[in-house]
Amino acid sequence: MPREKQYNEAEVIERAMVLFWKNGYKSTSLRMLSKEMGINQFSINASFGNKKNLFLESLKLYKSKLQQVLKKFEDSSNGKDSIKNFFYAFAAFSNQDNNKRGCLMVNTMSEFGLEIDEQVGAVISNYGEKLRGLFKKNLEFNTAIDSVTLNKQINFLVLAIGGLGLAGKIQNNTVIEDYIEMTFKNL
């Protein structure tokens, strides 16, 4: 029998995720990853195949962490205030420990635009659809609303959450708070 892996895959993915989150995909080299993950390039390859797959695993881990935020949103879906609470939670997640890393998924969409890798794009799109569903549910909560207006509001919120992800990298907390307050003032 061979020796055991001397590292925990979940742990090294977490470190990779932080690096990708901080620097983006292209600007994070395998050597940086190797150093930060504490394992050498060959081990990265052995565990994850290649850089893209490591990124995919990092993205999935990120998504699972953000899923905890989404879970609260799902559990207390009581209308527009729930959406607003989610916006605040998402903004906090995008600037945790005041690291100004934004949102890894928004960062990735911004880095690749529409020429995104198919698998990476699928992970992100899946999250987007989930979000749309929750926005819909909460916008309809206790309110009669025509489908045209509903769709406009959903589109509004989708773009807004993207803007908020970007803002997590470059804006201070006051700007972000003011944005959320103004957004929900008259929604």
Residue 155 in the binding site for a copy of itself (CB under 8 A): yes
Residue 103 tokens read as 């949102």
Q: Considering CB distances under 5 to 8 angstroms, the limit depending on partner class, which of a copy of itself, DNA, none binds residue 41?
A: DNA
Burial of 102 (0-12, 13-18, 19+ CB in 10 A): buried
- 111, 59 Cβ separation under 8 angstroms: no
Among 4, 6, 75, 114, binds a copy of itself (CB under 8 A): 114
Residue 158 in the binding site for DNA (CB under 7 A): no
Torsion of CA 33, 22, 105, 174, to 10 degrees: 170
Binding span for a copy of itself by CB under 8 A among 29-37, 58-66, 96-104, 139-147:
96-104
Whose Cβ is closer to a copy of itself: residue 39's or residue 120's?
120
Residue 130 in the binding site for a copy of itself (CB under 8 A): no
- 14, 4 Cβ separation under 8 angstroms: no
Residue 6 in the binding site for DNA (CB under 7 A): yes
* Residue recorded with tokens 């804006």: 171
Half-sphere exposure of residue 69: CA atoms within 13 angstroms, side-chain side: 21
Residue numbers at the binding site for a copy of itself (CB under 8 A): 24, 26-27, 100-102, 106-107, 109-111, 113-114, 151-153, 155-156, 158-160, 162-164, 166-167, 169-171, 174-176, 178-179, 181-183, 185-187
